[in-house]
Structure 1
Amino acid sequence: MAVRLFVASACAFPAIGARADEDNPNAQQLAPIVVRAEKQPAPEQRTPIAMSVYGPSFIDNVGVSDIKSLASMAPDLNYAQVQTVVPVLTIRGISSRDTTEIGDPSVVVVTDGSSNNRPYALSGTLYDLDHISVLRGPQGTLYGRNAVGGIVDIVTAKPTTRFEGSASVDLGNYATRNLEAMINVPVNDVLQFRVAAISRRHDGYLNNAPQADGDDENTRSGRLTVALRPASHLRMLFTAQQTTLKGVGPVSLDIPYIYDANGDLSHAKPPFPADPRTFTYATPQSLSIDDTVARWSVAYDFPGVELSYTGSYDNLTWRHDGDSSTSPDAPVSYRQNEFPKTQNHEVRVSSLGDGRWSWQAGVSYFHEASSLYSANESPFDNGIYQPTLAFAYGVHTTSTAVYGQSSYWVTDKIRLTAGMRVTRDQKSRDGQYFFADSDQLPFVYTHVPQNDAGSWSKPTLHLAAEYAPTSAVMNYVRYDTGYKSGGFSSSGSYAPETLKGIEIGTKSLWNAQRVQINASVFDYDYSGQQIAQLVPFADGRVGTKIVNAGRTHIYGADADIRALVDPIGLVTLSVAWLHARFTDFIVDDGSGQNVQLAGNAPPQSPAMTIGLGLEHAWTMAAGRIIGRMNAKFQSGQHFTIYNYGDDYQKPYLTADLSATWIPSQKNVELMAYVRNVTNARVFTAAEEYTFDNSYRYAFAAPRTFGVKATYFW
């Protein structure tokens, strides 16, 4: 059983997710990585899923502090900010454009086994990580209803039996001042704890006088993790984390609509100011997030079987004041307040050992209870704002599921896997929205009660076959179905999303484990993608309507190569080719007219994405210097379903450079870095924003640079 012996030896590596070659690009071999992509530890090279794993060195080198900064360099992930402030993730052309209080993401972010349903939770900071895995394609059987496009699996660093710590200071342009510290204390073999904390601040990347500059950061977070092993067969882990984000937050450049002589709206990209990052807005903007999270897990080993329970509770407060003015002379502020409380619970039983047959089964429970009050407000009576349109809702979402997956080695080289999950979702919303019947004093309000509910249920399926002719090569084919629950808005209900996908891949090691080549091809039949539109209502208001795209056909190929090349060092190359098109999608074009969008590309579906990384170490008497370069090229893409000229992002190239000096026999590292060396203007939003009759654009970070000093003990 050569294959299983390879698996067992790789699982023995203690640093899960860490690559030895990350900190030593002149190493002799690529180090194995152990992941839990299938909820059981296995080497990445023996996991039949197209995936990318980013270890601590990459995360530190490119300055990954949140999902947005990860997507700026990760070739398999796209990031957008719908309506400027709400984050949306896309993998292989699949994303959710429904960011209302009822909507769910189509790419799930999982942190230590627990997910958060609200997209703005993606603004949370990342630090003291073991690794991040991006799993491409539907993962619904093991991870649940919303994993239609894939998973971003975040694994935080856990307590170890070694006393260690670190502290770092990062100073850069835009008045960047980042502080980070960690200490790991092993009390004994039974009890260990780890404390990590971070403070990140920088001034705004925009110039928005006389208002405060946007795209700033003011984040503080702390995390305590306690590991307890009172017996050899019993393991417990408890985590508590508190995070606050303050400041102005993301800000958009709004350019007033342009109309032709017939009064028709132009869909061409409007003229930009000479400096697109310098503009003003009418009302003060701000962002405030307060997030308290508790996570826990307990595992008990019986002979040949592990029983585990994982749970979490997340209490999040999200407040945002945005500018919704059509002009500085007519100020309108949109003030959003949401208070979701989320629970995750999963009980799982799985086989232990390396026999021919392995299996796992579980039940899961997800519940979110949220209240919100959001209002479009205009000033009167000496600048005091009064609501002209407001929403006051209570929202409840419950998802229960049962799942199972089993694998069997038919021979020493062939393994078959089958799995199924059955999910039931329930959603309800009660409350009201109300709006002023005129913009003249005194306001007279019309109240519209809301009492909506819905339930959906769907099985998802996973089938896979693997063929491993040697311990260094594994080929696979897998078939998966995906499901994301339906919902409702003020303009009606909408159906679930479903996906049927097939993927064929290969993973291999060559040249005495100095070259790793992973590649896959895939074909997806995607039905009912949930798309949010801003459309005019009969009473003259503008509202959000959620519609289902009829069908979308997506296919493509991707490859990831890592190689230790003399005399260069470590070389990484990622190439992704994607063809994604609506094949049937009749939708309102925003003016009350239905149009057929067949042939259009879904939002953020670039045809080509290429990532390149180079690392080299110079050894000298005074220590080592490690130079790194990471670059990402992406072909053109659209940000909306209409594929207009005004929502187009042209091809771009970004690159990060860094050099780290590690003195001999010193517990110090000094790093100098430049990020987005090309100073490329990359959009995170490009859309026609009907609420304030403008073309709306938001931007990724400009060129930044700085120095970072880290002390270890």
Structure 2
Amino acid sequence: MSFPHCEVVHRRRIFTAARLLFLSALLSPGVSTAARADESDPDAQQQLKPIIVSAQKRPAPEQRTPIAMSVYGNAFLDSTGVSDLKALATVAPDLNYAQVQTVVPVLTIRGISSRDTTEIGDPSVVVVTDGSSNNRPYALSGTLYDLDHISVLRGPQGTLYGRNAVGGIVDIVTAKPSRTLEGYASVDLGNYATRNLEAMVNVPVNDVLQFRVAAISRRHDGYLNNAPQANGDDENTRSGRLTVALQPTSHLRMLFTAQQTTLQGVGPVSLDIPYLCDANGHLSHDKPPFPADPRTFTYATPQSQSVDDTNLRWNVAYDFEGVDFSYTGSYDNLTFRHSADSSPSFLEPVSYRQNEFPKTLNQEVRASSLGDGPWSWQAGVSYFRESSSLYSANESPFDGGVYQPTLAFAYGIRTTSTAAFGQSSYRVTDKIRLTAGLRVTRDEKSRDGEYFFANSNEPPFVYTHVPQDDCGSWSKPTVHLAAEYAPTSAMMNYVRYDTGYKSGGFSSSGSYAPETLQGIEIGTKSLWDSQGVQINASVFDYDYSGQQIAQLVPFADGRVGTRIVNAGRTHIYGADADIRALIDPVGLLTLSVAWLHARFTDFVVDDGSGQNVQLAGNAPPQSPAFTVGLGLEHAWMMAAGPIVGRVDAKFQSGQHFTIYNYADDYQKPYLSADLSATWIPNRKNVELMAYVRNVTNQRVFTAAEEYSFDDSYRYAFAAPRTFGVKATYFW
């Protein structure tokens, strides 16, 4: 059987193209905006077409972009059921996901992540949507729909992307309005009472104005059994997005997006196992005995979540005399409420209730050169502001079940960041290009308010109030240097040097310093076998200083509090490779392999009992030594229409979830796999898919830690085995 080329296109074009060419589109995990190959040219149909990305803030083929990266197109995301970042991490070998304190999402790339998830902390892996970053990604689980693609950029990207991109970038690009009248609607039904709805319509009013509307409703029952409380790890998400494209003249382009998202239900919950002591009466760091069914347990107080997010994004671009001027921005208004069980025992019920109301403004003005001359450049300024109010408290039911606070935090927080940047490339010869970039960033943070705690365990309460008035500022330049050598049109080799920076902060127990990183990466990208095989590989070495780690430590008055500390030094090095190959008659094969060596080289820290310990030699959280991803797609041409089968598997070696590398925070090696089969009936604008995810029903942790707030070992889980069917109608 002969396989056509692997270009990915939006589903809006599926039924306007030849059936054979559509089938080839479904086979690729990448995304391309390149023109389609000539359907009459068999050789062209055997090629992997160029994947166009904007990793350097300008469109370029991924194979000509000197960054280690993975690109996941909309067809791949849809066939693998990726609807949030947690699901993406199950299929993306270069990304790890954790839920610190059960609800706060933490992303890790190459062993780099932020473990400061307080209201002052910032991520070390930044999520960017249509050019704007999100500092508090609580609502991101409801916004991954109707996408163009997602790129995972490995390594520091701060020179072009700005603040906090020490470990890398997850770049989300939504689908944009086109000049074709089109749409789709889908229904997805599965176990755990899954009922997902999605729809999109694209309307071109004329050549000047187009708009696109997309919406989703996603619901499933909880994956856990928590009776008599409501079952946790459920989903109840609704989101809608309106995007308007306007081009009044050939030189002026405007894009406006409004998005509204709500998340309700119980949300993620954790299995809490009370602390155990060893024979000497000390806290045991061994993994505690789990229930016979770890997904069946109860908790003392009801849990719930309520997220309401309104996001506005805009981009205005004007090209004049060989220069493209652009203004990109976003405004995000988020309401986050969460109630979690924090009870030491069923006899002492405690609910930890979080309320945060961050408002975020991103703005960037950029000028970029146009044309194909030997010299290209871009420069600009950016401004980021986040203002938030917060009230969080441990509350216990007293006086007939009325909850009253025993410990509470009430703060107003403000963060601003300003930066100026520039990057320039010069093509020395047809085969050699040199690039240099510089960004200077200044961050300012302030917090005012108080925390207060009850002086007794029973009402009427008398509270001790501790005023909080903190502020700090930090400034740092980041540098990017790169050299590229392309001996042929099918190969590009590169070496790059980058520095990374993430601002410091403060907590109730003191201030902490910024994170910094110096990294070098050597890579190669190539096409073989008449562009039927793509091989990308890189090696890297990072000197990582001051990683910000949150600890739960005892205070002098007997309470437990959060302290942020800086890991002295961390040495990280490794290698990764990505292969995509069209193999006749097998189909499309994808293989990703990553080897990572990450160790603290100097880190003296409180072990949680008031004693300092040296953690040199320990691995940072979520830094597995080996990760392997394998994907295979094959098409069967049937009389009633083609059937496309897909299998995706991910192996990951053992890893720890905390800096201590205890047995109780260890995730053993695991292998997970997803299966799907898609039938495309002849002469019907319909697509039918059946799927099974986490086929082996692996128990994979998203959190594993000793949680001093309620004296328990805390564990949270990724999704169990799920299965279902999905029907999509296109017009």
> TM (normalized to structure 2)?
0.95
Q: Does 1:317 align with 2:335?
A: yes
Q: Which residue of 2 aligns with 1:221?
A: 239
Q: Does 1:131 align with 2:149?
A: yes
1:430 shift after superposition: 0.3
Matches within 5 A, 1:538-687: 538-687=556-705
1:24 shift after superposition: 4.3
3-state SS, counterpart of residue 220 of structure 1: strand
Q: Does 1:99 align with 2:117?
A: yes
CA distance in 2, matches of 1:543, 1:362: 41
CA distance in 1, matches of 2:192, 2:485: 52
Closer, same or farther: CA 286–193 of 1 in aligned 2, 3 Å: same
Matches within 5 A, 1:137-148: 137-148=155-166
Matches within 5 A, 1:340-355: 340-355=358-373
Native 8 Å contact 2:356 2:388 kept in 1:
yes
Q: Does 1:533 align with 2:551?
A: yes
1:454 shift after superposition: 0.2
- What runs of 5+ residues in structure 1 fail to find an aligned partner? 1-11
Native 8 Å contact 2:8 2:75 kept in 1:
no
Q: Does 1:368 align with 2:386?
A: yes
1:329 shift after superposition: 1.3
Q: Which residue of 2 aligns with 1:110?
A: 128
Q: Which residue of 2 aligns with 1:23?
A: 26
Q: Which residue of 1 aligns with 2:712?
A: 694
3-state SS, counterpart of residue 604 of structure 1: coil
Native 8 Å contact 1:685 1:698 kept in 2:
yes
3-state SS, counterpart of residue 397 of structure 1: strand
CA distance in 1, matches of 2:10, 2:635: 22
Native 8 Å contact 1:61 1:658 kept in 2:
yes
3-state SS, counterpart of residue 280 of structure 1: coil
Native 8 Å contact 2:9 2:25 kept in 1:
no
1:493 shift after superposition: 0.1
Deviation sequence 1:285-343 (CA, Å, 0-9, x none): 00110000000000001121100000110000000000000111110000000000000
CA distance in 2, matches of 1:443, 1:235: 61
Amino acid of the structure 2 residue aligned with 1:260: D
Q: Does 1:407 align with 2:425?
A: yes
Q: Which residue of 2 aligns with 1:189?
A: 207
3-state SS, counterpart of residue 440 of structure 1: coil
Aligned residues: 703
Deviation sequence 1:591-616 (CA, Å, 0-9, x none): 00000000000000000000000001
Native 8 Å contact 2:8 2:25 kept in 1:
no
Q: Which residue of 1 aligns with 2:282?
A: 264
1:561 shift after superposition: 0.1
Deviation sequence 1:134-179 (CA, Å, 0-9, x none): 0000001001120000000000000000110000000000000000
Q: Does 1:452 align with 2:470?
A: yes
Q: Does 1:522 align with 2:540?
A: yes
Amino acid of the structure 2 residue aligned with 1:644: Y
Amino acid of the structure 2 residue aligned with 1:696: R
Q: Which residue of 2 aligns with 1:476?
A: 494
Deviation sequence 1:602-650 (CA, Å, 0-9, x none): 0000000000000011112211100000010000000000000000000
1:72 shift after superposition: 1.1
Native 8 Å contact 1:125 1:219 kept in 2:
no
CA distance in 2, matches of 1:57, 1:190: 28
3-state SS, counterpart of residue 138 of structure 2: helix
Q: Does 1:298 align with 2:301?
A: no
1:388 shift after superposition: 0.2
Native 8 Å contact 1:366 1:398 kept in 2:
yes
CA distance in 2, matches of 1:189, 1:122: 32
Native 8 Å contact 2:234 2:267 kept in 1:
yes
User: Which residue of 446, 457, 461 maps to 1:428?
Assistant: 446
Closer, same or farther: CA 310–89 of 1 in aligned 2, 3 Å: same
1:703 shift after superposition: 0.1
Native 8 Å contact 1:522 1:557 kept in 2:
yes
3-state SS, counterpart of residue 78 of structure 2: helix
CA distance in 2, matches of 1:363, 1:210: 54
- What runs of 5+ residues in structure 2 fail to find an aligned partner? 1-6, 14-20, 29-41
CA distance in 2, matches of 1:608, 1:441: 54
Amino acid of the structure 2 residue aligned with 1:204: G
1:13 shift after superposition: 10
CA distance in 1, matches of 2:362, 2:604: 37
CA distance in 1, matches of 2:159, 2:396: 48
Q: Which residue of 1 aligns with 2:460?
A: 442
Amino acid of the structure 2 residue aligned with 1:344: N
CA distance in 1, matches of 2:353, 2:10: 45
CA distance in 1, matches of 2:152, 2:456: 49
Amino acid of the structure 2 residue aligned with 1:640: T
Q: Which residue of 2 aligns with 1:60?
A: 78
Native 8 Å contact 1:28 1:564 kept in 2:
yes
CA distance in 2, matches of 1:418, 1:695: 48
User: Which residue of 263, 267, 270 maps to 1:249?
Assistant: 267
3-state SS, counterpart of residue 383 of structure 2: strand
Native 8 Å contact 2:139 2:263 kept in 1:
no
Closer, same or farther: CA 252–484 of 1 in aligned 2, 3 Å: same
Amino acid of the structure 1 residue aligned with 2:516: T
CA distance in 1, matches of 2:593, 2:8: 29
Poorly superposed stretches of 4+, deviation over 4 Å:
12-16, 18-22, 24-27
1:22 shift after superposition: 4.5
Q: Which residue of 2 aligns with 1:493?
A: 511
CA distance in 2, matches of 1:656, 1:263: 45
Amino acid of the structure 2 residue aligned with 1:23: L
CA distance in 2, matches of 1:301, 1:672: 47
3-state SS, counterpart of residue 116 of structure 2: coil
Q: Does 1:513 align with 2:531?
A: yes
Native 8 Å contact 1:88 1:119 kept in 2:
no
1:14 shift after superposition: 8.4
Amino acid of the structure 2 residue aligned with 1:329: L
Native 8 Å contact 2:157 2:500 kept in 1:
yes
Deviation sequence 1:55-101 (CA, Å, 0-9, x none): 01110011111111101111000000001111100000000000000
Matches within 5 A, 1:203-214: 203-214=221-232
Native 8 Å contact 1:474 1:508 kept in 2:
yes
Amino acid of the structure 1 residue aligned with 2:426: Y
Amino acid of the structure 1 residue aligned with 2:396: S
User: How much identity, in percent, do the aligned residues show?
Assistant: 85
Amino acid of the structure 2 residue aligned with 1:560: D
Amino acid of the structure 1 residue aligned with 2:203: V
CA distance in 2, matches of 1:281, 1:219: 24
1:263 shift after superposition: 1.9
Q: Does 1:32 align with 2:50?
A: yes
Native 8 Å contact 2:634 2:646 kept in 1:
yes
1:119 shift after superposition: 4.1
Q: Which residue of 1 aligns with 2:350?
A: 332
Q: Which residue of 1 aligns with 2:407?
A: 389
Moved more, 20-29 or 537-546: 20-29
Closer, same or farther: CA 379–217 of 1 in aligned 2, 3 Å: same
1:260 shift after superposition: 2.2
Q: Does 1:173 align with 2:191?
A: yes
Amino acid of the structure 2 residue aligned with 1:679: N
3-state SS, counterpart of residue 174 of structure 1: coil
Deviation sequence 1:472-515 (CA, Å, 0-9, x none): 10000000000000000000000000000000000000111100
Deviation sequence 1:100-159 (CA, Å, 0-9, x none): 000000000000000111142443331000000000000010011200000000000000
CA distance in 2, matches of 1:560, 1:376: 47
